[in-house]
Structure 1
Amino acid sequence: MADNILFLFGWLGELVFASWLLSSGAEHLAERWGGRFVGRTLLSIATTLPEIGIVVAAAKDGSYGTAIGSALGSNLLMMTLGLAIMLIIATTRLSKAPQKFIDVKEFKLDKIFLVITAVVGALLFIDGYTVLDGIVFAVLFSVYLLIAFSEMKKERQAPLEKDLHDTQVKSKKHFTRAMVLFVAGTAGIFVGAEPFVHALEGVSVDLGVSVVVLAVIVSPIAGEMPEKISMILLARKGASGASIAVANVLGSKILNNTLLLSVAIFAAMSYQGFTAKIQNTPLLENQMILVTVITIVALIPMFKNKLGLKSGIMLLVLYAVGIGMQFILPSL
């Protein structure tokens, strides 16, 4: 048992380090584009790569519970604990420019799209996921990207000539370093993902705990590390940074409900055959319902268009409820 635990945390450490490299590279590459679009797309896709690596590795071995559990755990973690940490930092002296609240009214599209994708994902899972469901998720992901790109084009104003020159100089200075960090982080994620999954399964057998439960709790610690690092750094910068952090959270969770699920389905199909199906199980179904409900509840304060310290505390409580349920669901 001790060997499996050491193995698990060894590869967890590797994933954490690779995630940090990936996050650093992605943030520097994002300097060329502006806030919401970067948070929704480039940064969200970059910070979702760890989960993609874990999901692909799990699907390769037919560990569909780990694959789906990882995606669900990511949403549970970041829609509650992740947002809570960001709000606590942004609204207290932990920030360089503390805000009384964060205005999120500009994220109407993301809030609605996140509710839709969460509900659709739960409904489609009733009879298990097949290749047709994978296509539906891929289409939803494409639609979200197109809408985000369209909004960016409308909102983006042409920069002044001096600002454009400064941006180009800065981009040239950081581009090579950013690419090296990004590639190194990506490689590290895909190297560490498969042994991490094997270690997770080994610990679950030793402890007699469902691998789905461990995937929901443990995998997001590694998989969401780039997002957590990015959120902390951005939240300390003030209102503009906090806005990008919110865009990153919402965008990456939408990606989890679309891109990540489609990757899990297509990975299962590529390794197990075209007719491969991710079967619904009572435990996974309960997890899906729980995470969908928590996602919607966590979004309620956002529809009031203002997030403050009280919202952060509420989200912390919601995370504690979600984790507590992990020890109750297996017995249901």
Structure 2
Amino acid sequence: MDIVQLLLALVLILVAAELFTNSLEHLGDRLGLSEGVTGSIFAAVGTALPETMVPLVAVFASSSLASPKVGEEVGVGAILGAPMMLSTLTLFLMSIFAAAQRGWRGTLLPERTGLRRDLSWFLAAFSLATLALFIPHQEAVIRSSIAVLLVLFYFFYLLLTIRASAALVADGHATEAEAALYLSRLGLPTMLLTIFLQLGLGLAGIIFGAELFVHGVEHLSAWLGVSALILSLLIVPVATELPEKINSILWIRRKKDTLAFGNITGALVFQGSLLPAIGVSLTPWTPSPPVLLGAVLTLIAGSYTLLLVWRGVQLRPIYFLLNGLLYATYFAVLS
């Protein structure tokens, strides 16, 4: 029954995230924003909502769980597991589908200034969050200051990304919504009101699905005799990041490389700043071996990807085999 609950929760989360992402693309099209803004902010935030809601619900609902510690472990695992998965497995999977179409030495052509900005801000924020692991919990002022800085990181990142939008649109990187708004298929007109209505439906479904998922993980970890932290580091991100993987794979197959990469790197900034701010503020946030290993491998994967972009080398699918190897290492150690 616990597995059935987890599967139902995942289906609900994925369907709701699809509704949310679809409406965000139409919103970007309607507002005349660039692919960079739509990919790195709208699509990234929309598809990152499952990962965001799972730790939030886990932390705030921990008092209602049989063991409050389980809620904290699920929260920390989801927070740190998400950027780990994005920087390693998700980039690797995207490269596999790109290679199937273009070859392992085929060219990937994302807009580089946005990609460099995303990765730089992510590494700065996530490095600070990793440093916070070593700040004692009783140092409340220092930890609170770090949490505030992480939130400010994302705020300034948004400003820079939006400011660059006009120039990118002028260069031919405007957002175009290819799929019809789902509510319009029911006969409703495609207008701002229906776009926001679909946004609300998607958000409500994600929140409800996340709550079901947290309770399902609690029961499953007890049944399997596996730590909720390990389960959350390995299973929660893989499951909840399906929207990012699917969207990026579809975009890379359609040769929309800017949207494909922006969907991943924009989510990295979101999950490497705002989510750790929650962890630093509301969880023990300590450097246990699984947590520290995940943080270190995430920083390695992010730094390697930024180095490729910064040096100006032609991006090719074969270069992201290392990202996949880093995830395989993590999985082998934890399992």
TM-score by structure 2 length?
0.80
Q: Is the 8 A contact 2:80 2:276 kept in 1?
A: no
1:1-332 equivalences in 2 (<5 Å): 3-32=1-30, 33-60=33-60, 61=62, 62=68, 63-93=71-101, 100-103=107-110, 105-106=112-113, 107-127=115-135, 130-157=143-170, 173=190, 175=192, 178-238=195-255, 241-265=256-280, 268=282, 278-283=284-289, 284-305=291-312, 306-327=314-335
Aligned partners of 1:134 and 1:74: how far apart in 2?
18
* 1:284-314 Cα shifts (integer Å, max 9, x gaps): 3343333333333444433344321212333
3-state SS of 1:173 partner: coil
Range moving further from structure 2, 133-142 or 303-312: 303-312
CA RMSD of aligned residues (A): 3.0
Displacement of 1:265 in angstroms is 5.0
3-state SS of 2:101 partner: coil
Q: Is the 8 A contact 1:86 1:232 kept in 2?
A: yes
Displacement of 1:196 in angstroms is 0.6
Amino acid across the alignment from 1:125: L
Amino acid across the alignment from 2:254: K
Q: Is the 8 A contact 1:20 1:229 kept in 2?
A: no
Identity among equivalent positions (%) equals 22
User: Residues 158 and 250 (structure 1 numbering): CA distance in 2 closer, same or farther, change over 3 Å?
Assistant: closer
User: Residues 226 and 28 (structure 1 numbering): CA distance in 2 closer, same or farther, change over 3 Å?
Assistant: farther
Unaligned runs of 5+ in 2: 63-67, 138-142, 182-188
Range moving further from structure 2, 243-252 or 126-135: 126-135
Unaligned runs of 5+ in 1: 269-276, 328-332
3-state SS of 1:209 partner: coil
Aligned partners of 2:298 and 2:136: how far apart in 1?
17
Amino acid across the alignment from 2:3: I
User: Residues 226 and 30 (structure 1 numbering): CA distance in 2 closer, same or farther, change over 3 Å?
Assistant: farther
Q: Is the 8 A contact 1:65 1:211 kept in 2?
A: yes
* 1:168-222 Cα shifts (integer Å, max 9, x gaps): xx99736555434322221111001112111112211221212111111111133
Aligned partners of 1:131 and 1:81: how far apart in 2?
31
Amino acid across the alignment from 2:277: S
